[in-house]
Structure 1
Amino acid sequence: MTVHVWDYLAEYEKEKEDILDAVERVFASGQLVLGQSVKGFEEEFARYHGAGYCTGVDNGTNALKLGLEALGVGPGDEVITVSNTAAPTVVAIMGTGATPVFVDVRESDFLMDTDQVEAAVTPRTKVLLPVHLYGQCADMAPLKRIAGKHGLKILEDCAQAHGARHHGRLAGTMGDAAAFSFYPTKVLGAYGDGGAVITSDEETDRALRQLRYYGMEKVYYVVRTPGHNSRLDEVQAEILRRKLGRLDAYVEGRNAVARRYEEGLGDLTGPGGLLLPATNDGNGHVYYVYVVRHPRRDDILEALKAYDISLNISYPWPVHTMSGFARLGWSEGSLPVTEKLAGEIFSLPMYPSLPEAVQERTISALREVLAAL
């Protein structure tokens, strides 16, 4: 059996009755679009975060795009973010007509280097977009200070950080709004696509609700600002309602997997060796992915194929080096830490239902490969 970084089938077997009941409930409800399941999930997801409002949308990319638009971002504006992220972060910014401006990340945690942010602010800057990457939060205090000083908004990218905490605050509760993805691999994942934006600002929420439904205030009403067709599906919303009650258990399951990696691989760390994830002081990590680092990453991944272990790299190509974003003008070498990490990081299997035997097989194989380098 090939070992992969993610699999949902064991979890589905455990939760099958509840998942299928959620589907049946929606199908029997007589309302398949923007019904009681979406409404209920929005209320419950907002309550979980202590936020005033939640707007369910069709995917995480549009959660970012609509979140930016609701905060007033448009053509001619700039949004400061990172290149060490999934491409949708940048696709969403460019989808508003704005320009992404990159700062580098820190070698210690792969998160936004907040010391570089203020120097990147220009008169065109509208929003700071930190990415809470791999399961832990970026350093928010300096970002809030910079935003306050320059009159900027903050949109948190929480696609990888459901349930993560930063000095006691949940990811998504420290900016003006926060975007979430419910892609199946996420800490809180649907059985298809989905997304949401939370905020405690009434006007921002009102704008979001219009934007997700063509720009209408209600069905077949006047369009005042053209929007999108970006509605969270009723079936996915009902499944997410069920899974939301298990989110904290999912987080604990991922932390248990992380502890086993620390126990099995912790003695291999050091200069030139395998580097395991570092959790910053004040952070509660949820380990969306378990990203390790080694200077001979490619040799390791190739050798693991003989053990029938197939691992991922998150991410092998920094966004600013991709041909699709060449017109932004960021040459190779402009973000040295991001580019260095792209050649050294890789992800070990991580999901709450990961069998201990499969994890031990991965640890054993990795130890053998490292010993042979």
Structure 2
Amino acid sequence: MTVSVQTDAVGRDALRPHAEHTFAAELAALAAADDRPRPARWKLSPWAVSTYLLGGTLPDGTLVTPKYVGPRRLVEVAVATLATDRALLLLGVPGTAKTWVSEHLAAAVSGDSTLLVQGTAGTPEEAVRYGWNYARLLAHGPSREALVPSPVMRAMAEGMTVRVEELTRIPADVQDALITILSEKTLPVPELAEEVQAVRGFNLVATANDRDRGVNELSSALRRRFNTVVLPLPATPEAEVDIVSRRVAQIGHSLDLPPAPDGMAEIRRVVTVFRELRDGVTTDGRTRLKSPSGTLSTAEAISVVTGGLALAAHFGDGVLRPGDVAAGILGAVVRDPTADRLVWQEYVETVVREREGWKDFYRACREAAE
């Protein structure tokens, strides 16, 4: 079997191109229009980075699409943090766009979002510090040629922004390897009697999940090295519908899914269902509801609608209908086959069944549950 490696610099054929490739035109337009001071090795000024994330219209008429829909001040604080010597921790429940924001911050600040440490229970210390090419190590002993730098080490040496995803999933002893890096801005390499010193422009963006605090709690020493920005769930249904519709359009385009006419009605329905079950109360505030065990995040709503679009495109008439999203909603809500199924059945029979204009959706939910 032959494995081909993608070498196209702009990743045209990638299933999910990096942010700096997808939005290269916007980043170039911002750089051309940006006449404000830029911190060392930043591709854009803090103002331009914020504009890139929040959207706006440039003096030449270029439209910069919003990458994050939320409080402007949160984005400004996050960007300002990266311009200081403090690292940034994006905290929030699942689906609040932490990873999305961290990727776009790195793309706008450094022009490269690929310096990434993915946190898991099995993340080794080498992923944060450095490793070794063992063939060279055994043949010639410790040397610069045998050393394999981590993304963190590369970012320090090149003055770049490095990302650490799911920080609280990383074992505590591996987390602590970041303390010296973030406080002293150095990474000792005792095997070579050397150290790597961070050059200007280096900083770190980490993400952590509110629901996973008990997995590997951050030590107070490490937490002090971060400025924490909490990303909230969308404040209003309209904001969440806007986020879902934008991301679904982007994902659908990358997957060559045809745009579904009148799809906004089903997007609003999915968002309404998720928000009501998440909040434990109907939109009008009249009926209290039981909430399922899952988070029912905006990211999951995007997944449900994208799956519905694929069903409509490949097995329907191209129009997004209740039956295309009902099964996806059921899968998102019912994580616990016993307790969550009862929550969903009660919601369907007491809310969906009685809601005006939702008869087709009610029938689709009943069919999906059979």
Please, what TM-score do these two structures have when normalized by structure 1?
A: 0.30
> Highest relative contact order (Cα 8 Å, sep 6+), 1 or 2?
1
Question: Higher helix proportion, which one?
Answer: 2
Structure whose CA Rg is larger: 2
